[in-house]
Amino acid sequence: MNTQTPPALEARLGALFLIESALARRGGLDEALSAPRFLGLSAQDRGFARAVVMVALRRLGPIDRILDGKLKREPPAKVRQLLRLGLAQAFWLDTPAFAAVDTTVALTPQALRGLVNAVLRGALRDGQPADDPASLAPPWLLSRWRAAYGEADAMAMAACIAEEPATDLTPRNDTDEELAALLEGETLPGGTVRLRRRGDVAEWPGYSEGRWWVQDAAAALPARLAGPLAGATALDMCAAPGGKTFQLAAAGAKVTALDKSAGRLRRLAAGLTRLNLSAEMIAEDAAQWSDGRAFDVVLLDAPCSSTGAFRRHPDVLWNAKPGDLAPLAAVQARLLEAAAVRVRPGGRLIYSVCSLETEEGEGQLRRFMTSHAEFTLDPVQPGEGGAPPASLAAEGWLRVLPHHLEGGIDGFFVARLARAR
Ligand SMILES: C[S@@+](CC[C@H](N)C(=O)[O-])C[C@H]1O[C@@H](n2cnc3c(N)ncnc32)[C@H](O)[C@@H]1O
Atom in ligand 1 nearest the alpha carbon of residue 268: 9
| CA-nearest residue, atom 25 of ligand 1 | 261
Query: Looking at residue 212, what is its pLDDT?
Result: 97
The closest-lying atom of ligand 1 relative to the alpha carbon of residue 301 is 6
Secondary-structure breakdown of the chain: helix, strand, coil percentages, each rounded to the nearest 5 = 50, 15, 40
From ligand 1's centre to the CA of 268, what distance in Å? Answer: 11
Atom of ligand 1 nearest to the CA of 354: 1
Q: Which atom of ligand 1 is nearest to the CA of 304?
A: 1
From the list 251, 365, 343, the residue with the least C-alpha distance to 299 is: 343
Q: Are strands 167-171 and 280-283 parallel, antiparallel or unpaired?
A: unpaired
User: Superfamily assignment of 7-126 in CATH?
Assistant: NusB-like (1.10.940.10)
Domain boundaries, the chain: 7-126, 215-419
Q: Are 254 and 234 within 8 A, CB to CB?
A: yes
Topology classification of domain 215-419: Rossmann fold (3.40.50)
d(CA 271, CA 293): 25
Atom 9 of ligand 1: nearest residue by CA position: 242
Task: Write the CB contacts of 167 (distance below 8 Å, at least 6 apart in sequence).
Answer: 194, 195, 196, 197, 201, 214
CB atoms closer than 10 angstroms to residue 206:
17
**Nearest residue CA, atom 6 of ligand 1?**
239
Q: Which of 260, 266, 275, 353 to mutate to test the pocket of ligand 1 (most atoms within 8 A of CB)?
A: 260
Identify whether 165 is preceded by a cis peptide bond (ω within 30 of 0).
no
Contact 158, 402 (CB under 8 A): no
For residues 5 and 399, what is the distance between their CA atoms, to the nearest angstrom? 49
Tell me the residue type at 331.
Answer: V
Query: Whole-prediction pTM value?
Result: 0.96
What is the distance between the alpha carbons of residues 233 and 293, in angstroms, rounded to a whole number?
10
Euclidean distance between CA atoms 11 and 1, whole angstroms = 11
Angle between helical axes of 77-92 and 113-126 (0-180°, round to 10): 30
- What residues does ligand 1 touch, defined as CB less than 6 Å away? 219, 238-244, 258-261, 264, 285-287, 301, 303
The pLDDT tens digits for 187-233 are: 999 999 999 998 889 999 999 999 999 999 999 999 999 999 999 99
**Closest alpha carbon to 257 in 271, 230, 237:** 237
Which residues are CB-contacts of 253 (< 8 A; sequence separation ≥ 6)?
226, 229, 230, 231, 232, 233, 234, 296, 297
Q: Ligand 1 mean position to 95 CA, how many Å?
A: 39
pLDDT in tens, the chain (421 residues): 445 677 799 999 999 999 999 999 999 999 999 999 999 999 999 999 999 999 999 999 999 999 999 999 999 999 999 999 999 999 999 899 999 999 999 999 999 999 999 999 999 999 999 889 999 999 999 999 999 999 999 999 999 999 999 999 999 998 888 999 999 999 999 999 999 998 889 999 999 999 999 999 999 999 999 999 999 999 999 999 999 999 999 999 999 999 999 999 999 999 999 999 999 999 999 999 989 899 999 999 999 999 999 999 999 999 999 999 999 999 999 999 999 999 999 999 999 999 999 999 999 999 999 999 999 999 999 999 999 999 999 999 999 999 999 999 999 999 999 999 9
Residue closest via CA to ligand 1's atom 12 equals: 238
Under DSSP, the state recorded for 392 is B
- The one catalytic residue in 160, 238, 304, 354 is 354
Distances (CA, A) of 5 to 112, 137, 161: 20, 35, 34
Asked if 356 and 138 touch (Cβ cutoff 8 Å), the reply is no
354 is catalytic: yes
One fold for 7-126 and 215-419:
no
Position 1 scores a pLDDT of 47
The CA 285 to ligand 1 mean position distance, Å, reads 9
Q: What are the tens digits of pLDDT across the range 293-329?
A: 999 999 999 999 999 999 999 999 999 999 999 999 9
User: Residue 233, by phi and psi: left (phi above 0), alpha (psi -120 to 50) or beta?
Assistant: beta
